[in-house]
Structure formats: C-alpha cells, structure tokens
Chains A and B, each alone.
Chain A
C-alpha cells in the first residue's frame, strides 16, 4: 500500500502542478474555472486515497461536503461571465474576459 500511495501522490502532484499552470496561463476566466474544478477533483481524490491507505473513515465527511459544494464556484463564475439579462452588454464582456 505504501507503493500505491507513492504512485498516487506523484500522479496527483503532477495533476496539481499542471492545473496551476493552466490557472496562471489560461487566456479566459472560464479556462481558469475548468482548471480549478479539476484541481478540486484532484484534492477530493487525494483525500480519498489518503483515507484508503490509512484505512480510516474520519475524512469521508469532507468528501461529502466537497461533492456537494464544489460546483457552486464554477456556477457562480459562469453566471458572472455571461449574464443573459440583455444582449447589448454582451459585446464588452467578451473583451473583459481576456484580462
């Protein structure tokens, strides 16, 4: 199990670094949102793998909360990126996304 833990730690570390690369680079806000979602999923996976290796169930509640709440961030950012109230304001938002 130690070997499994090491392999998973290496894989998830690579995942985290690559996601942060995309968050730093990502040309638009939605790219960063998607990368942050993958980062949260990798964190949830890391918590699960740690619980599996240590054979304990204390961190399962964290996984429940993550599965329930993790989508709120990207949903609110998506709403902010494209408010569908009126169509005239949509042109300026496309330029703001590049910042």
Chain B
C-alpha cells in the first residue's frame, strides 16, 4: 500500500516536470516561462522526495531528504529573483502584461508613488 502511494507521488512529480516543460515551450515570454519553470523545482522535487522517503523509510535517509528539500527551497527563489530582475532590466518583460509595475522604464524605482496602478505602465 505504501508502495502504491509512493508510486503515485513519483508519477505526480514527473508529471510536474512534463507540465513545466510544455509551459517552457508554449509560453510567450521569459516571465511566464519562469512561472512554469518553478513547478518541478519546488513542488515536483518535493513530491519526488516524499515518494523517495516512503520507499526508503530510514531515519537518516529521511534527514538527508529534508535537507535536500530545504536547500532547494532556499536556492530556487534566489535564481528566480536574479533571472526575473535581469529580464526586467534588459526589457524582456512585456509592460502591458504586468498588472502592477513599481519601476520606471529605466529600471529604477518609481519615485512618485502612484501605487503602481495599471494605467501607469509604459
């Protein structure tokens, strides 16, 4: 029974990766591709690690699995933040696709605070 649950978790994790890859190919710009790229990095890997923990059922192994999940959850947002910022600063983010934009066109902070309403996106 535990093996069945583990198998479902593993397949769900692999399915996350496939869905993300379809999104990577189909989505139009960098930011929406990043949106789909986060699925296997966090949820997919966590599902696979949960299935792996159910299969191994050893306390020291599960400790290592928790460490892996922790490291992944710490490092994935860092790279996503850097890539997203670089995409914004090189002008790859489509301004009309943003509902809230707190930056001016040159990438600096919008000093006159208009709340970042959609009407002010350029």
Flag if A18 contacts B51 (CB, 8 Å). no
Flag if A60 contacts B45 (CB, 8 Å). no
A44 to B71 Cα, complex, angstroms: 13
A14 to B75 Cα, complex, angstroms: 25
Flag if B17 contacts A71 (CB, 8 Å). no
Flag if B10 contacts A93 (CB, 8 Å). no
For A6-41 the 0/1 string (1 means CB < 8 A from B) is 011001101111110110000010110111011001
Which residues on B sit within 8 Å (CB–CB) of A7?
A: 11, 14
Flag if B30 contacts A34 (CB, 8 Å). yes
Flag if B10 contacts A52 (CB, 8 Å). yes
Which residues on A sit within 8 Å (CB–CB) of B86?
A: 30, 78-79, 81-82
Flag if A34 contacts B21 (CB, 8 Å). no
Flag if B7 contacts A38 (CB, 8 Å). no
Flag if B52 contacts A71 (CB, 8 Å). no
For B45-61 the 0/1 string (1 means CB < 8 A from A) is 10011011001101001
Flag if A15 contacts B89 (CB, 8 Å). no
Flag if A60 contacts B20 (CB, 8 Å). no
Check B97 for interface membership: any CB of A closer than 8 A. Answer: no
Flag if A38 contacts B10 (CB, 8 Å). no
Flag if B48 contacts A48 (CB, 8 Å). yes
Flag if A49 contacts B14 (CB, 8 Å). yes
Q: Contact partner of B87 among A18, A30, A68, A84, CB < 8 A?
A: A30
Q: Contact partner of B37 among A17, A34, A63, A67, CB < 8 A?
A: A34
Which residues on A sit within 8 Å (CB–CB) of B22?
A: 18
Flag if B58 contacts A64 (CB, 8 Å). no
Residues of A that sit less than 8 Å from B by CB: 1, 3-4, 7-8, 11-12, 14-19, 21-22, 28, 30-31, 33-35, 37-38, 41-42, 44-45, 48-49, 51-53, 55, 57, 60-61, 63-64, 67-68, 70-71, 74-75, 77-79, 81-82, 84, 87, 90, 93-94, 97
**New A-B pairs, 11, CB < 8 Å, besides A41-B20, A61-B64:** A4-B11, A7-B14, A11-B18, A12-B17, A41-B45, A42-B21, A48-B48, A70-B75, A71-B79, A82-B89, A90-B89
